[in-house]
């Protein structure tokens, strides 16, 4: 696939951003749909292109941690420590916003999510632009995040001024989000920077956003979904669940590391290690739609760290908060 990270294309990207346009660009996690984060009209175009509710906050991407004081009212020691340890990289830090950060970006919140990505094309674009670029994942609202430029073109081609192609995203799932705007660090979204890594760098525990905590807006379970209905199952019952739906006439696929012994089930295989699983997961969800599956039975990886982040994404693809299929998921 053609890569478009040449100096001339990067300069054009920065010009499009300065002119208030939209540039889709690769990051190491997923492709982002970027606009000048200081320009509310440009930011409004992101919401229009995605079909996303305008009160959802966006992550502001920075060329370096040196720009943190422009965007955050206060940079706590903990934020500096995480920036030193993980930036550029797949970590978003939520801080109290500086005066002048547009409501269009924060969804009216008093906080702002900030991240320095490590993909060379993203960094080159941010450096050429010189300030914050607001960017959600470059997919239509509620759909699977893009990990190839072709995915962006499929969904948003006519709605974006420029798509930069940086090949397949190396991490493959969205950044970890940690909220440092309160008294104690809270994990809002799991990702490749794991809780253990955060706690190691901070020297203090990181609480998961759970009961009583406000979930990150836009983290509704219905997100990250393919068109096929996704059902979560354990390895042991996955095939019988699949057979149940096949008996009802559905075209059924199985997303798992173990190939099914049964004929008639489309197997979407996942490799054994979590890093490669993450790199391939969203492509597999797109494959499910390309195959025209009605139902995808998914066996989430078990374990902590990146495996837990993958299980989180699969549960969301299934429209579940807790990963348990209920009786209403069974065919009549």
Between 13 and 42, how does the x/- string for binding to ligand TXA read (CB under 6 A)?
--------------x-xx-x----------
| Binding piece for ligand TXA, criterion CB under 6 A, among 50-58, 159-167, 200-208, 315-323 | 50-58
Side-chain half-sphere of 294: how many Cα atoms within 13 Å? 13
Binding-site member from 75, 94, 116, 133 for ligand TXA (CB under 6 A)? 94
265 touches 273 (CB < 8 A): no
Side-chain half-sphere of 107: how many Cα atoms within 13 Å? 18
| Binding piece for ligand TXA, criterion CB under 6 A, among 129-137, 262-270, 283-291, 305-313 | 129-137
Q: Which two tokens stand for residue 149?
A: 């430029």
User: If DSSP codes are grouped into helix, strand and coil, which group holds residue 207?
Assistant: strand
Cβ neighbourhood burial of 14 (10 Å; 0-12, 13-18, 19+)? buried
Binding-site member from 21, 218, 221, 319 for ligand TXA (CB under 6 A)? 218
State how beta strands 207-208 and 266-269 pair: unpaired
Shortest Å, Cβ 141 to Mg ion: 8
Shortest Å, Cβ 188 to ligand TXA: 5
Binding-site member from 4, 111, 194, 256 for ligand TXA (CB under 6 A)? 111
Side-chain half-sphere of 90: how many Cα atoms within 13 Å? 25
Binding-site member from 135, 152, 241, 281 for ligand TXA (CB under 6 A)? 135
Residues from 166 through 205 that contact ligand TXA (CB under 6 A): 174-175, 177, 188
Place of tokens 């010189």: 130
Q: Which is nearer to ligand TXA, 101 or 231 (CB)?
A: 101
| Binding piece for Mg ion, criterion CB under 5 A, among 38-46, 69-77, 79-87, 133-141 | 133-141
What is the sign, positive or negative, of the torsion defined by CA atoms of 204, 208, 211, 214? positive
The span from the CA of 248 to the CA of 269, in Å, is 24
Q: Is 137 in the site for Mg ion (CB under 5 A)?
A: yes
Inter-helix orientation angle 77-86/195-202, to 10°: 120
Binding-site member from 24, 49, 58, 311 for ligand TXA (CB under 6 A)? 58
Q: Give the total of residues touching ligand TXA (CB under 6 A).
A: 28
Q: What is the DSSP string of 235-281?
A: HHHHHHHHHHHHHTT--EEEEESSPPSSTTPEEEE--SSHHHHHHHH
The span from the CA of 135 to the CA of 35, in Å, is 7
Q: Which is nearer to Mg ion, 106 or 137 (CB)?
A: 137
| Binding piece for Mg ion, criterion CB under 5 A, among 107-115, 130-138, 226-234, 237-245 | 130-138
Binding-site member from 22, 83, 195, 216 for ligand TXA (CB under 6 A)? 216
Per DSSP, what are the bridge partners of residue 47?
none
Binding-site member from 16, 59, 202, 314 for ligand TXA (CB under 6 A)? 59
Residues that bind ligand TXA (CB under 6 A): 27, 29-30, 32, 56-59, 92, 94, 106, 109, 111-113, 115, 117, 135-137, 174-175, 177, 188, 216-219
Point out which residues bind Mg ion (CB under 5 A): 137
């Amino acid at each position: 696939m053609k890569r478009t990270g040449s100096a001339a294309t990067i300069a054009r990207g920065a010009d499009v951003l300065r002119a208030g346009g939209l540039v889709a660009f690769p990051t190491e996690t997923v492709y982002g749909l970027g606009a000048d984060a200081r320009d509310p009209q440009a930011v409004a175009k992101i919401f229009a292109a995605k079909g996303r509710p305008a009160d959802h906050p966006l992550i502001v991407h920075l060329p370096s941690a040196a720009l943190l004081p422009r965007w955050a009212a206060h940079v706590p020691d903990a934020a500096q420590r995480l920036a030193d340890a993980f930036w550029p990289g797949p970590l978003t830090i939520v801080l109290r916003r500086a005066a002048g950060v547009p409501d269009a970006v924060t969804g009216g919140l008093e906080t702002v999510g900030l991240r320095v990505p490590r993909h060379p094309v993203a960094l080159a674009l941010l450096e050429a632009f010189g300030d914050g670029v607001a960017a959600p994942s470059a997919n239509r609202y509620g759909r699977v995040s893009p990990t190839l430029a072709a995915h962006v073109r499929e969904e948003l081609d006519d709605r974006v001024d420029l798509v930069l192609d940086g090949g397949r995203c190396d991490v493959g799932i969205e950044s970890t989000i940690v909220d440092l705007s309160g008294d104690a660090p809270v994990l809002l979204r799991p990702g490749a920077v794991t809780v253990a890594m955060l706690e190691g760098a901070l020297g203090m525990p990181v609480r998961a956003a759970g009961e009583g905590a406000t979930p990150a807006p836009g983290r509704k379970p219905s997100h990250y979904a393919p068109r096929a209905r996704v059902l979560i199952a354990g390895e042991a019952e996955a095939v019988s669940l699949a057979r149940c739906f096949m008996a009802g006439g559905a075209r059924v696929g199985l997303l798992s590391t173990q190939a099914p012994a049964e004929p008639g089930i489309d197997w979407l295989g996942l490799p054994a290690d979590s890093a490669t699983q993450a790199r391939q997961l969203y492509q597999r969800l797109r494959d499910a739609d390309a195959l025209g599956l009605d139902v995808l039975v998914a066996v989430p990886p078990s374990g902590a760290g990146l495996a837990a982040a993958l299980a989180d994404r699969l549960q969301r693809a299934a429209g579940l908060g807790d990963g348990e299929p209920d009786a209403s998921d069974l065919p009549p």
